[in-house]
Amino acid sequence: MFPRYSQRAAETPLIHLADTDIDVFGCRLDSDQDISVDEALDYLSRDERHRARRYHFISDSEHYVRCRGYLRKLLGAFQAKHPGAIRFSYGENGKPFLRGENISFNVSHSNGVAVCAISRRAEVGIDVEFNDPRRCVEEVMQLVFTPAERHQLQLCQGSAATALFFQLWTAKEAFMKLTGEGMSLHPRQIEIGFDRGRPQRYIRPGDGRVRLDHLSLFGSSFSCHIASAPRGAFSQAHSLQTDKAT
Ligand SMILES: CC(C)(COP(=O)(O)OP(=O)(O)OC[C@H]1O[C@@H](n2cnc3c(N)ncnc32)[C@H](O)[C@@H]1OP(=O)(O)O)[C@@H](O)C(=O)NCCC(=O)NCCS
C-alpha cells in the first residue's frame, strides 16, 4: 500500500509541488510506525484529548490521535515550535487554521492513511479516499455528480469506473476543503473539467484562481486531489473557536 512511502521518513514530503510551493506528507494511522499514540497524545491539547475519548471504537480514537499528533509535529517543524505549542483556530465549518501565521495546511484521512498539505504560498484543500467499489452506487452518483461528470463515468467500467468515481469525489471535496465551506457547498455546485477522460480543472465555481492537482500517492487503491489558490483567497476570516492550551 505504501510502495514509495516505505523508504521515507514520515517528516519527508511525499511530493513537493514546486509551482505552488506545497509539500504533501503522509502518515500511517493504524500502526505506531510514523508516530506512536503515546508521542501524539503528548502533543494534543485538552480539547483534542477530550475529542479522542469520545470515539466509540478505540481504532478511530487512535487514528484521530495519530493524525493530530502528526499534524502538530509537522507544523511545529515548519514553525520552529514545540508541537504542543501549536494552537488551532477553526473556521465557520470546522476548517482548522493557524491564526496570524503565514502558513496554510489541510489534512485528509481514509482507510488508515492520512495526508497533510502545507504551504506558505498557497491556500490548500486536500482529500484522499480509498477506492471502495461498494460506495459507487447510482443514488450517490445522481446526488453528487453533474450530468457531464456522469456521462464521463458511463464511459468507464469496472475498476476504471470506481477509480474515476473517487477521482471526481476527491477533486470536489478538495475544493470544499480549500474554501473551508465543506458540505455547505453542494457537490453539484462544483463542476470538474476533463482532459482525455481525466479530471483536469475546475469549471465552476471559479474565476480561474483555483488549481487542481491529482496526486498519485498510495498506488491504485486510493484517489487523492489537492486544490490550491493564492494565499489569502479563501482565508478563514472568522474563527468560532480556538483550542484551549494543553
Ligand atoms: C470536512 C469535510 C468536507 C470532509 O470530511 P471527510 O471527508 O470526512 O474527512 P477528511 O478526512 O477528508 O478531512 C477531515 C479533516 O479536514 C479538516 N476539516 C474539517 N472541517 C473542514 C472544513 N470545513 N474545510 C476544510 N477542512 C476541514 C480537519 O482537519 C479534519 O480532520 P479531523 O477530523 O482529524 O479534525 C466534511 O465537511 C464533510 O462533510 N464531508 C462529507 C463528504 C461528502 O459527502 N462529500 C461528497 C462528495 S464531494
pLDDT tens profile 173-219: 999 999 999 999 999 999 999 999 999 999 999 778 899 999 998 88
pLDDT tens profile 127-147: 999 999 999 899 999 999 999
pTM of the model: 0.93
* Ligand 1 atom, smallest distance to 127 CA: 12
Are 130 and 111 within 8 A, CB to CB?
yes
Q: At residue 62, does pLDDT exceed 50?
A: yes
* Ligand 1 atom, smallest distance to 94 CA: 20
Read off φ and ψ for residue 11, nearest 5 degrees. Answer: -90, 10
Pocket test for ligand 1, best of 183, 212, 217 (most atoms within 8 A of CB): 183
Are 221 and 215 within 8 A, CB to CB?
no
pLDDT band at 51 (very low <50, low <70, confident <90, very high): very high
Pocket test for ligand 1, best of 35, 67, 176, 217 (most atoms within 8 A of CB): 176
Q: How far is CA 197 from the centre of its chain?
A: 23
Q: At residue 2, does pLDDT exceed 50?
A: no
Report residue 236 as a C-alpha cell.
478563514
pLDDT band at 1 (very low <50, low <70, confident <90, very high): very low
